[in-house]
Amino acid sequence: MPSKTLKFDAALDLILKDLKPHTRKCKQCAGDFEIFAEDIEFYHKLRVPTPQNCPDCRKQRRMAFSNNTTFYKRKCNAPGHSEDIISLFPDELNQKVYDHQYWWSDVWDPASLAKEYNYSEHFFGQFHDFYRNFPLIQTSRDPKSIGSDYTAYGQELKNCYYIFGGINSENIFYGNWPIYTRDCIDIWVAYKSELCYEIVSGSGNYNCNFLYFSDNCLDSFFLYDCRNCSHCFGSSNLRNKQYYFFNEPLSKEEYERKLEDINLGSRKIFLSWQDKFSKSLKNKIKRATRNEKSVNSLGTFLRECRDCFMCFWVENGENLRYVDYGLSAKDVMDLTLVGTSLRNELIYESVNVSVYNIKFSHLTRSSNFLEYCINCYNCENCFGCAGLRNKKYCIFNKQYTEEEYWRTLDEIKTKMLEDGEYGEFFPISMSPYPYNASLAQFEFPLIKEVVEKIGGYWAENVASLEGVDPKNILKGDQIPDDIKDVNDDILNKVLICEITGKPFKIIKEELEFYRKKNIPLPTKHPYQRIMERWAMKEPFHLWKYPCSNCGQEMYTSYDPAKKLKVYCEQCYLKEVI
């Protein structure tokens, strides 16, 4: 296919010509990082120069563009509106935020904010000014979602509450990434699961509570890294087992008698068993990486992947490098968050995007051939745009003819390449999300002062108790211990988190779930519970580490400094099968 950006392609070819594997110095952290031969193949295929930052700093920058923990209450800034709305953006952000219905309506036109490109200025400075004048959508919620106002990023959700991400799930409360899942509370990545409470990365589970990295389990409690188990309690590393209690086999009658004496509906009793379970895991063997049905792939939480390198929590991926949180992707590099039923291909340095040939973009869906775009839907061949729908050949939201578009784009990209801007994702200073609410805070935790030093911002989600009758505020022991002692009037109470001191409420559907499952009321704010589930998983980072059994060097997501008993895949499978 003939080039439509001749000057840019000629300049890029000079950069990529004779490029060989080498070591580079990261512009941000000053650490050394490798450019591998496979990376160079991608740069040629995707038509981009080599990156200036190391993989971790690139990941941190992308993750700062996704709020996955916190909803804020603020005023709607749509014309004629002043009502309170729930948003991903706090009042501290000096940018307009429109409610969901208004943003998606035809009452306003994103093209009305179009800007002429100025070749005498740098791209990022121009785009920053352009984007800061652009209205944001309150939660980036899928228009196809039903009864799920307190959700963000998810697709086709129904009756979900306080959920970030997810696909085609129903009746899910509090958590991240339910995928084809129903009737669950407090989850972090639950796939095709139902009637479960507290899952951290699980698939195919039914009627289970407190499951961690366990799949296809039934009627079980407190399991860690188990597969195809039913009626098990407090156990780890089991395969195809029934009626196990803390890894000891029991008869069906013995197991049922044990459970009859355990009332997990009492918080005190529940906490004692939770503590016993946690202590039991300390000396248990750990699996180096958690990969299933994956070939020639390096990373963890990989399922049905092929030829993937340094990827984390990816399903159905092929030929990927440095990808986190991905579903159904091929020929993709440096991507955070992609998940649709469509096959996503040729994506580079982007966050939460789909479908084909997307670069340096954020929150673009069902689009093709976009670069440096944000919140664009069903668009094609656009550059540096925001909020557009069903558009082609636009730059900074200005409409061009096809011929004008390619001629202008060639000039812009060539100038950006000369300035050292083309090839880099948006800087953290351009993220509209507080760093401490973003994915970056989980993987690269920082204090407020450091966040501000690197250009990000920090926002506390302070909820006022002004006007609340003190009689309706419950703290600590004032919250009933046993779910059987909880009356419906709890729905009118404000509970105070025992860790953060933040107030929160119990909703009707949540209360009904706790009663059905015989689970005590939570005493921690949803944000704190999300943080604690997140802490259960290993970092999205790999270390070289000798197997604790055979001594063979391997990659693992467990930090060697913790001195845990970590087995390579071969040794681990011998132990659990």
What SS3 class is residue 281? helix
Check pLDDT > 80 for residue 224. yes
Beta bridge partners of 557: none
The distance from CA 563 to its chain's CA centroid, rounded to whole angstroms, is 28
Q: Tell me if 67 sits within 8 A of 432, measured CB to CB.
A: no
Q: Which of 416, 149, 370, 396 is nearest to 362 (CA)?
A: 370
Q: What is the pLDDT of residues 296-325, one digit of tens each?
A: 999 999 999 999 999 999 999 999 999 999
Mean pLDDT of 416-434: 97
Mean pLDDT of 4-25: 96
Structure tokens at 177: 């990434």
Mean pLDDT of 35-54: 97
Least confident of 180-189, 232-241, 334-343: 334-343
Q: What is the pLDDT of residues 160-214, one digit of tens each?
A: 999 999 999 999 999 999 999 999 999 999 999 999 999 999 999 999 999 999 9
Between β-strands 248-249 and 242-245, what pairing exists: parallel, antiparallel or unpaired?
Answer: antiparallel
Mean pLDDT of 251-275: 96
Check pLDDT > 90 for residue 467. no
Q: Tell me if 67 sits within 8 A of 29, measured CB to CB.
A: no
Check pLDDT > 80 for residue 522. yes
**DSSP string for 48-106:** -PPPSS-HHHHHHHHHTT-B-S--EEEE--STT---EEEESS-TTS-S-EE-HHHHHSS
Specify the pLDDT at position 454: 92
Specify the pLDDT at position 129: 95
Mean pLDDT of 4-23: 96
Q: Where are the beta strands (DSSP E) in 225-271?
A: 230-236, 242-245, 248-249
Check pLDDT > 90 for residue 341. no
Q: What is the pLDDT of residues 468-504, one digit of tens each?
A: 888 999 998 899 999 999 999 999 999 999 999 999 9
Check pLDDT > 90 for residue 334. yes
Check pLDDT > 90 for residue 243. yes
Specify the pLDDT at position 554: 96
Mean pLDDT of 211-225: 97
Ramachandran quadrant class, 322 (left: phi over 0; alpha: psi -120 to 50; beta: rest): left
Q: Tell me if 539 sits within 8 A of 559, measured CB to CB.
A: yes
Q: How many CB atoms lie within 10 A of CB 268?
A: 10
Specify the pLDDT at position 44: 97
- Residue that is written with structure tokens 């121009």 in the block: 126
Q: What is the pLDDT of residues 357-415, one digit of tens each?
A: 999 999 998 999 999 999 999 999 999 999 999 999 999 999 999 999 999 999 999 99
Percent of residues in the chain assigned helix, strand, coil, to nearest 5: 25, 35, 40
Q: What is the pLDDT of residues 66-91, one digit of tens each?
A: 999 999 999 999 999 999 999 999 98
Specify the pLDDT at position 476: 87
- End-to-end CA distance of the chain: give it in Å, rounded: 53
Which residue type is seen at 229? C
If pLDDT is split at 50, 70 and 90, which confidence band does 465 have? Answer: confident
**Rounded to an integer, what distance in angstroms lies between the CA atom of residue 229 and that of residue 214?**
9
Specify the pLDDT at position 3: 85
Specify the pLDDT at position 342: 66
Q: Which of 482, 527, 517, 522 is nearest to 506 (CA)?
A: 522
If pLDDT is split at 50, 70 and 90, which confidence band does 340 have? Answer: low
What SS3 class is residue 210? strand
Q: Tell me if 413 sits within 8 A of 12, measured CB to CB.
A: no
Check pLDDT > 80 for residue 463. no
**Rounded to an integer, what distance in angstroms lies between the CA atom of residue 283 and that of residue 263?**
27
Specify the pLDDT at position 1: 66
Range ranked top by mean pLDDT from 189-198, 456-465, 527-536: 189-198
Check pLDDT > 80 for residue 339. no
Domains of the chain, first to last: 6-50 (3.90.1280), 543-576 (no CATH)
